[in-house]
Amino acid sequence: MAITLTAGTFTASGKTYEPILTELLFSNKTLNEDLVTLADDIKSTTEITEVSATVTMQAYTSGAPTSQGGQTSVGTVITPVKLMYYNEFDPETLRFSRYGRDMKKGAWNLNLGEFETVVLDLYNRKISQDVEAKFWNNALAATKVSVAAGANTTAEKAYVAGITAGLFDGLITRIIWNGGAVGGRINVVGTTISATNILTEYGKLYAAIPAVVLQNTEEKVRIYAPYSHLQFINQYNVNPANFTKPFVVTKLGEPGQTVFFQGIEVVFVPMAENQMLAALPSHLMWATDLASDISMMKIDFIANNRQDMFVKHIFTIFAHVMLQSTNVLYL
């Protein structure tokens, strides 16, 4: 059974410390802070369209003009993958713990009370965190085979090889391998990053961003980086030898904290170490049926004649990348 209960020496007449110390978890930052584009209401097969255009100036002629330039519209059909988390547990196990205190009198009553509000809530948040981590890092078994045999860089092959085969391709995998071929991303060869070399490595990423993307006035490019980079950036900034501060950190440790590098916002997501991505948020899509599905759980009895229970989450997800030729992957 799923509950692993280490109840200590609890007795019904004893006292318990009221707060329950749960694991420290991030909420799902990628969705909560709109770090990528959320495309919900995608129930099944949906076409995502990318449009590009070329224009060519030509000399005036009063005679028959020549058609030059063109418009390209590329449609990609995506189908979010339907997934679930399912866990069974027996409330009877809880009767002998602190969670038994708020069960109503009567042997029939095994209501969950505190267990539901604290422990299952934590479980729920952990799923939200797991989905976010897999949105960034995940790969189908078939994609792992394709990348291993394909023409990707060895670092990209190493990254995909290390990922445990999952049920959909994560965003970084989609950037690496897309539409049955090597992704059209701009690749920057990466190395191991620490506070010592973080400026140099961010400089490589910055230099590879197409100038037109940097000049985009409608939408600002972002640098997506692993959580650990915030520590490296702060360690870099407090080193007295680094008298210039290329990383501008405001409201450090407070709500609304921001980090900028050369005028580009750096956002921290559960990416793997030693990799970064520079892209417009509209190019990175989290497609799903309903965004709130991830935080919705159903708890019920397994059957009418039983008192053990289940907790179940159902949702759909698809990581999609657009206009690949402008996305810079440091790996």
Smallest gap from residue 303 Cβ to another protein (A):
19
Closer CB to another protein, residue 83 or residue 299?
Answer: 83
Residues near 75 by beta carbon (within 8 Å), at least 6 away in sequence: 47, 48, 49, 50
Rounded to a whole number of angstroms, the distance between the first and last alpha carbons of the chain is 41
Smallest gap from residue 55 Cβ to another protein (A):
41
Smallest gap from residue 237 Cβ to another protein (A):
17
Is 325 in contact with 88 (CB distance < 8 Å)?
A: no
Considering only CA atoms, which of 2, 279, 313, 328 is closest in space to residue 129? 313
Smallest gap from residue 226 Cβ to another protein (A):
7
Give the count of beta carbons closer than 10 Å to the beta carbon of residue 166. 18
| Contacts with another protein, residue ranges (CB under 8 A) | 81-87, 126-127, 130, 133-134, 137, 148, 154-155, 157-159, 161-167, 191-194, 196-197, 226, 228, 270-275
Closer CB to another protein, residue 313 or residue 320?
Answer: 313
Helices (H) and strands (E) counted in the chain, each on its own, are 9, 18
Smallest gap from residue 286 Cβ to another protein (A):
17
Closer CB to another protein, residue 183 or residue 226?
Answer: 226
Residues near 15 by beta carbon (within 8 Å), at least 6 away in sequence: none
**Distance of alpha carbon 268 from its chain centroid, rounded?**
10
Helices (H), 60-197: 114, 121-136, 141-149, 154-162, 171-176
Closer CB to another protein, residue 97 or residue 153?
Answer: 153
Tell me the C-alpha distance between 198 and 307, whole Å.
55
Closer CB to another protein, residue 103 or residue 176?
Answer: 176
Beta bridge partners of residue 87, listed in sequence order: 311
Closer CB to another protein, residue 1 or residue 74?
Answer: 1
Between the alpha carbon of residue 281 and those of residues 104, 125, 291, 318, the distances in Å are 50, 24, 17, 16
Closer CB to another protein, residue 8 or residue 162?
Answer: 162
Smallest gap from residue 300 Cβ to another protein (A):
18
Smallest gap from residue 205 Cβ to another protein (A):
15
